[in-house]
Amino acid sequence: MGQIVNFGVGFLTAIVGSQPIPIGVLKDVSIDLSYTMKSLTGQSQFPLDIARGEGKLTGKATFATVNSLLLAQLTSGATTAAGNVQGIYLEGPATPSSNTITAVHGATFKTDLGVWDSTAQKWLTWVASGPVTGQYSVVTSTGVYTFAAADATHLMALCYSWTVASTGVTVSLANQLMGTNTYFQLALFENYSTSPIGGQMGIMLPNVVLSKMSLGFKNSDFTSDAVDFEACQNLAGQIYYAYTSV
């Protein structure tokens, strides 16, 4: 029987029902098979026998891209709808006109996220109406911000979110009863053919559940997202299939 070496991470695809979800910009994948071991020990230091107890197959994939299918299909209770919400950080800054500033996306304004007074170098305090120095109010149906007359000469920067109805997807997650799972398959294939001893290897996990999803946002770096998963047997009693070219 020949031997091969592999290099690189290959490509990973989750399959929910008949829907394949390629996981792009894959950074790394690990698949771990472990067992609980039971030792029979008497008065001597070392065991007389060792038996294998429970087995577990777990894994983790780290990647740099997220799509709505991945968020929705792998998580029980998730639904999707057309359109999305985007955030604006420190729009402007601008000086209020007649004590007000209208957000650029005021017509589709959704949520106020704060106001930074660039002149005073401080965050303002929200009030429902009648703002005084250091305060502001906002009408969320129009995106109109109102400031105190004493602050009318200050440069104000707006933070808010707004609705984009024509593009994107919104994924919402509803609470589910205990025991609810979404089962899917995971297929990992690695093709390394540039080496004289390179080869091909694939692993198929026929029945997998998501145990953890992490969305890692970093300063001065790309996001690094991850899913942790655990496998159980399929209807045929199989846990995994491994394929090699030799």
Q: Note the pLDDT tens digit of each residue in 54-69.
A: 999 999 999 998 888 8
> For residue 138, what are the contacts with CB-CB under 8 A and spacing of at least 6?
112, 126, 144, 145, 146
pLDDT level of residue 8 (50, 70, 90 thresholds): confident
pLDDT at residue 197 above 90?
no
Position 203 confidence tier, pLDDT thresholds 50, 70, 90: very high
Section 81-88 average pLDDT: 96
CA separation, residue 76 to residues 98, 130, 176, 200, 231 (Å): 50, 45, 7, 34, 16
Residue 2: band (very low, low, confident or very high) from pLDDT cuts 50, 70, 90: low
What is the maximum span of the chain, computed from C-alpha positions, in angstroms? 90
Give, for 73, the enclosing helix (H) or strand (E).
Answer: helix 68-73
Exposure b/e, 118-153, CB count within 10 A at least 16 = b: beeeeebeeeeeebeebbbbbeeeebebbbbeebee
Complete domains list, the chain, with CATH: 11-77+174-244 (2.30.110), 83-168 (no CATH)
Q: Note the pLDDT tens digit of each residue in 211-235.
A: 999 999 999 999 999 999 999 999 9
| Confidence at 1, pLDDT banded by 50, 70, 90 | low
Taking 80 as the threshold, does the pLDDT of residue 171 lie above it?
A: yes
What is the distance between the alpha carbons of residues 157 and 101, in angstroms, rounded to a whole number? Answer: 10
Model pLDDT for residues 98-141, shown as the tens digit of each residue: 999 999 999 999 999 999 999 999 999 999 999 999 999 999 99
